[in-house]
Structure 1
Amino acid sequence: MKKLRKALAIVLSMSMVFGLVGCGSSNDTTTSAAGATTAAAAETTAASEAGSTMVETAANQVGTEDCVIGLSILSMAAEFLIAMVQGAQDKADELGVELIVRDCNVNNQTQVDQILDMINQGVSCIIVEPWDSEGISVAIDAATEAGIPVFTVDTSGNSKDIKCWVASDNMEMGRMAGEYIAEYLKEKNGSYSGKVVNLMASLTSTSGTNRSAGFHEVIDQYPDIQIVEQNADLEVEKALNTMTDILQANDDIDAVWCSGDNNAIGVIQAIDAANRYYPQGEDDHILVVSADGGMEILDNIRKGKCDACISQQPITMGADAVQMAYDYVVNKVEPKSDVQYVGLFNITTENIDSKELAEFGLWAEQVR
């Protein structure tokens, strides 16, 4: 316990430095803290060595009855994350381990504080869904110093100490959306041309940046496709207001990549409010493509207001993250790779009632 407190004290000192330098890398933060004095550098090295020993000891000694997993997520207000926590809790119950869930309410400092508190409680391992991939590094460093392994789920952080990231392939999600929109434009306009909106998700998270990057990877191949790009942070009201401004400035929008269900809900509301909704198949129809696969979007796909949604599997994601963490600390099983992806499915108006989609699963219909 003395070693744990010592490691925590060192990293809290690092956190103060981090706050001064802003969003620097974890390496920069460590260097700044260690460079304060020679004694501090020696102490940091000693704590790091102790942390490595503690990780090995934890993996060797923790049994099922002693395994406590901490989980910090972005927001329990999101249907997708409710599903992910459900999957995590069901798996924890199945394995007979304790799961401590904390909601950071999309605030990086709150999330850092939650993880430091979990470290103080002496959890066996930590699973985190980072709001800020850079800002979370100080908390991951703290856990590592205390000998507590860290896994990420859905989004990830910029740290070499993360054992594994359990997620959807967000680059692939962006590619799937880009390919679907490109083929729609070719069919509608006779060529890969037109104007599309990239309504981005948060650019501080890996999922947001990767979905946009994957989309660009496809669309940028076609110089005659014009992109209008804004960030709506997966907030319905912000997406509504942003899309309203875009519609007022552009008479010729062909399609919108929404990067998440909340963005899509705001876009659909904006299109309706602007009297710009035209049924599928009409020349002025604006194609709307979402991501995630929540119930409201499924309803809009059936109504023809949303054309497609790249669906994830959050229940599976949460369960897989807990299983992997359990295997690491109890069964001493190392993750096979740095990232483990769960499946994706492009739900459209044509396949929403198909056997193939039923086999993949509609997670929104499984949320309790």
Structure 2
Amino acid sequence: MSKKSLISLVLVVLMVVGILSGCGGAKKEEPDTAKTEPATTAEEQKPAETTDKEETTTTEEKKPWEGKRLGIAHITLYDEWCTEVKRQFELQGAEMGFGEINVQDGNLNAETQQKQVEDFISKKYDAIIVDPVSSEGIIPTLEAATAAGIPVFAFDSYTPYEDLVAWVAWDHAKTGEIAARWVANYAREKLGGKVKVGLLAMLNADHTRVRGERFLEVLKEELGEENIEIVFNQDFGETRESAANIVNNNIMKPIDVIWCAVDNGAMGAVSALETNGIKGTIVVSSGCNGAEPLRMIADPEAYYRMGVGAPDSPEQVVRLVLQAVADYFSGKEVEPVQYVEFFPIDSTNIDQYREYFE
């Protein structure tokens, strides 16, 4: 082979190697270019944004009551139970996401409460919740609310208004019945089956009136009318002072048991008995709530011996009412009548509830 031919052969080999090396390098760069392509990254981000919007929409659909304004016409704020109900409406309402929570005090006055509901209607609240002072008298005002497209809910006191969405309460007649059976058992165990009883009734609200009526009915069924002496049966109104005055006016008469529709009456009775140093009389209530009566029940020397109720009943009532409102705005079926749990609290079970008063 000539020298020129040899040089030519070497050059050809070098060119082939160079071409093959160049092709191999190009193939290695392709995957890197694909990974960093800007257009692909932008497209991937768009579906993520859509997903976030869909999640937000789904969350909002789960809470259609959010921001709804509630007008609450409370029967009164005169005692611990009623003020705790107000606090629970404000607390739980905010936690659930409702808007304005406007709780008004009816002051046990039917006319005052009707004006409050009329004000809720004129201000176009989204729902009205009422603890009626007058079960019949409030109906025309509630009809006006329904006519304005505002759903109406009730708690505690009953109203026969036909278009009520839901009513949440204690079974008030049952509270009188439970108290009567407790007193009847006490009379059999301690008094030979006979009892001298005084009643501090509360007649300015339907739900408390029915407690006293049922108490007497069941007590007569249990012991027989001939074994019961009614020392007094008076409407104490609502204050402790008025209850104490009634007891003071009858303090010289032998009394075994003083029954009270609510704890304000019971505390007034206890005050009068303590002031006069009376022995042998006990106090029971068909409306027990709060730390004060529970502490007394825990004290074996105290006059207050038994209360019908539940330590967390205000929380229970409000929770059921607000859930009914939420279900209504969610288009769910709402149970028209809902009762909270309650039971007699006395020396036999008071230790279970020490967390509420210690």
TM-score where L is the length of structure 2 = 0.75
- The one-letter amino acid of 1:170's match is H
Matched, 1:266 2:268: yes
Q: Residues of 2 paired with 1:286 and 1:92: CA distance?
A: 43
SS at match of 1:126: strand
| Kept after mapping to 1: 8 A contact 2:65/2:330 | no
Q: Residues of 2 paired with 1:271 and 1:63: CA distance?
A: 53
Larger C-alpha radius of gyration, 1 or 2? 2
Aligned twin of 1:83: 84
Q: Residues of 2 paired with 1:294 and 1:243: CA distance?
A: 23
Aligned twin of 1:48: none
- The one-letter amino acid of 2:73's match is S
SS at match of 1:349: coil
Q: Residues of 1 paired with 2:255 and 2:66: CA distance?
A: 57
- The one-letter amino acid of 2:277's match is N
Aligned twin of 1:293: 289
> 1:78-157 residue pairs with structure 2 within 5 A?
78-98=79-99, 99-157=101-159
Aligned twin of 2:309: 311
Q: Residues of 2 paired with 1:352 and 1:267: CA distance?
A: 21
Aligned twin of 1:332: 331
Aligned twin of 1:169: 171
- The one-letter amino acid of 1:232's match is F
Change (3 A) 1:132 1:152: same
Change (3 A) 1:149 1:64: closer
Matched, 1:216 2:216: yes
Matched, 1:232 2:230: no
Higher RCO (CA < 8 A, seq sep 6+): 1
Q: Residues of 2 paired with 1:77 and 1:267: CA distance?
A: 17
SS at match of 1:226: strand
Q: Residues of 2 paired with 1:347 and 1:66: CA distance?
A: 39
Aligned twin of 2:58: none
| Kept after mapping to 1: 8 A contact 2:80/2:289 | no
SS at match of 1:101: strand
How far apart are 1:140 and its partner, in Å?
Answer: 1.2
How far apart are 1:293 and its partner, in Å?
Answer: 1.8
Aligned twin of 1:188: 190
Q: Residues of 2 paired with 1:346 and 1:91: CA distance?
A: 27
| Kept after mapping to 1: 8 A contact 2:67/2:98 | yes
Of all paired residues, the percent bearing the same amino acid is: 31
SS at match of 1:162: coil
How far apart are 1:184 and its partner, in Å?
Answer: 0.6
* Residue ranges of structure 2 left out of the alignment (5+ in a row): 1-62
| Kept after mapping to 2: 8 A contact 1:166/1:340 | yes
How far apart are 1:89 and its partner, in Å?
Answer: 2.3
CA offset digits 1:159-213 (Å, max 9, x no partner): 222222111111111011000101111112222x121112112x24232122112
SS at match of 1:346: strand
SS at match of 2:197: strand
- The one-letter amino acid of 2:331's match is K
| Kept after mapping to 2: 8 A contact 1:199/1:259 | yes
How far apart are 1:122 and its partner, in Å?
Answer: 0.9
Q: Which is further off, 181-190 or 138-147?
A: 138-147
How far apart are 1:66 and its partner, in Å?
Answer: 4.5
- The one-letter amino acid of 2:64's match is G
Q: Residues of 1 paired with 2:349 and 2:147: CA distance?
A: 49
How far apart are 1:131 and its partner, in Å?
Answer: 1.7
- Over the residues paired in the alignment, what is the CA RMSD in angstroms? 2.1
Matched, 1:245 2:249: yes
How far apart are 1:76 and its partner, in Å?
Answer: 3.1
Q: Extract structure 1 runs of 4+ deviating beyond 3 A.
A: none
Residue among 318, 339, 342 paired with 1:341? 339
Q: Residues of 1 paired with 2:139 and 2:175: CA distance?
A: 26
How far apart are 1:157 and its partner, in Å?
Answer: 2.2
CA offset digits 1:13-57 (Å, max 9, x no partner): xxxxxxxxxxxxxxxxxxxxxxxxxxxxxxxxxxxxxxxxxxxxx
Q: Between Structure 1 and Structure 2, how many residues are aligned?
A: 287
